[in-house]
Amino acid sequence: SLKCAGSSDRLKAQALFKSGKFVEAAKLYQSLSNADDEVYTNLCASLLSANECDKALSVLEEHKGSQSETFEFAYNGGCAALA
């Protein structure tokens, strides 16, 4: 099912990130059609870890609505601003 496919892609993106493959993780997060706040937060973290600060700032700006109150979103925003 589509939900299972999305779940396996999320898990794969997380594994890529944990393995230090930040560019690959970011690409996979960007390809997810069922993106939510968690995906955008993880996408931003992947981009920051890949030294793609401008792209991370764009993601932060585009998706700052409901998730702007979360610790992770604030942390990623601070890291992007300092980079």
Q: What is the pLDDT of residues 24-83, one digit of tens each?
A: 999 999 999 878 888 888 999 999 999 999 999 898 888 777 555 678 877 888 888 887
Structure tokens at 75: 């942390």
Q: What pTM value is reported for the model?
A: 0.82
More confident residue, 14 or 35: 14
What pLDDT, on the 0 to 100 scale, is given for residue 78? 83
What pLDDT, on the 0 to 100 scale, is given for residue 9? 92
Residue 2: CA atoms inside 13 Å, Cβ hemisphere, count?
4
Element (H, E) at 73: helix 71-82
CA angle 27, 52, 15 (to 5 degrees): 40
What pLDDT, on the 0 to 100 scale, is given for residue 66? 59
Specify whether the CB–CB gap between 40 and 80 falls below 8 A: no
What pLDDT, on the 0 to 100 scale, is given for residue 59? 87
